[in-house]
Amino acid sequence: MIKYIARRTVQMFILFLVFLTLTFLLLTALPGDTVKQRFSTNPNIPPEAAQLAIERLGLDKPLWEQYTSYMSNFFRADFGFSFIQYPRPVSDIILERLPRTLVLFLTVVISYYILGFMAGKFIAWRRGRRGEHALTIGSVVLYTVFYPWFALMLIWFFAFYADVVPINKFLDPEEWIDAPFSSNHVFLVIFAVLAITGLVSLAFWVLTRRIRNTKQRQRVVRIGYTLIALITIWFWFGSEFGSARRLYAGDIAHHMVLPVITITLISFAGIMLLTRSSMLETMREDFILTARAKGLSEHIVRDRHAARTALLPVTTSLVIAVATVIDGGIITETIYSWPGMGELLFTSVVDQDLPLAIAAFSFTGVLAMVGHLVVDILYVFLDPRIRVGEAQ
């Protein structure tokens, strides 16, 4: 296992170098030069000052020298300064936008994967019933709907017509006038609570899988998840630290409702159909027939045999979705005026803000490659038929 992880890490590092190189070349190959034009055509900037700024940004150097300079600085964690927001460092801009995207899209990913997997598992197990047909048809409709139109219709109905949620933005400025801390501080607290709760819940679920007695395991799971929920509730409503931030976190959550519902409805359908297809294929395998021949209950056959194997393609999709969540959704963040990484990627590419665009893309590339490694390792644990030697 250690040799396999080391080999895959080396492969990912080489792939990451290729990814950085291609990203740099593609972005520099864009037609025009927005940055130089802004300096040279701005009447408020003297020609001497414009030339000095271009030299400081390194835009007067040959392409190969810009490339080597950027690569060396990148691996020293020096992402440079933004061309458009000079002299603001790229790292500051990303740290400002990143928590907003992580909180929104991690909430969405967790929601639609849990709902999609549970729904797909049950409709595949109860194939042919009326509810299965209705849910499948509804999922196909949601999966194929034109997303921008669907999002705008939800905004019109819930925000404009029913007036139950805000129309856009990620906070209400009036609520934050006298706030003792910034919105990013609250985003980081929300993200930390979500991450810790998720990791503890996942670790607890893995540990309870070792309990062979089904009834005893269900009892332990109910008690454990109840305690986790109570501790989380106490943090927000009982502790002094959480109570001071509850009002502002509630304002952010209020603005998150509509984008979360929109993306969950669209993405839930795809995961449900994927799970259903994987479950139907797994149920035809010989080991399912063997499990039933042993006299195991339908509940155990479904959850511990069929669903566990059917989880493989869903797990792959989940890890890749989490790995690429950092880039957010350009369409989503544009429609809902959510100033996150998706909007940052779009504006940095359009304005040819090279350091900012490459840094944002690089974060996505790193997480995507780490996600692929996590998938390979999870496959070994989820499917006993897969061994490390075969994966190599």
Please provide the DSSP assignment of 133-161 as one string.
HHHHHHHHHHHHS-HHHHHHHHIIIIIII
Burial-class residue 137 by CB neighbours within 10 Å (0-12, 13-18, 19+): exposed
Give the span between the Cα atoms of 68 and 83, in whole angstroms. Answer: 18
CA dihedral 14, 18, 24, 26 (to 10 degrees): -160
Q: How confident is the model at residue 72 (pLDDT cuts 50, 70, 90)?
A: confident
Q: Count Cβ atoms below 10 Å from residue 218 Cβ, excluding itself.
A: 13
Which of the two residues, 253 and 131, has the higher pLDDT score? 253
97 CB-side CA count, 13 A: 27
Q: How confident is the model at residue 332 (pLDDT cuts 50, 70, 90)?
A: confident
Give the span between the Cα atoms of 23 and 359, in whole angstroms. Answer: 10
What mean pLDDT is predicted for residues 36-45? Answer: 59
Burial-class residue 179 by CB neighbours within 10 Å (0-12, 13-18, 19+): middle
H helices of 145-213, in order, are 147-154, 183-208
Q: How confident is the model at residue 391 (pLDDT cuts 50, 70, 90)?
A: very low
Beta strands in the chain (DSSP E): none
What is the model's pLDDT at position 41? 58
What is the model's pLDDT at position 43? 57
Could you tell me what percent of the chain has a pLDDT over 70?
81
What mean pLDDT is predicted for residues 258-274? Answer: 83
Position 40 pLDDT exceeds 80: no
Give the span between the Cα atoms of 296 and 102, in whole angstroms. Answer: 42
- The tokens describing 298, both together, are 């339908």
Give the span between the Cα atoms of 134 and 187, in whole angstroms. Answer: 38
Residue 326 DSSP class: G
Q: How confident is the model at residue 390 (pLDDT cuts 50, 70, 90)?
A: very low
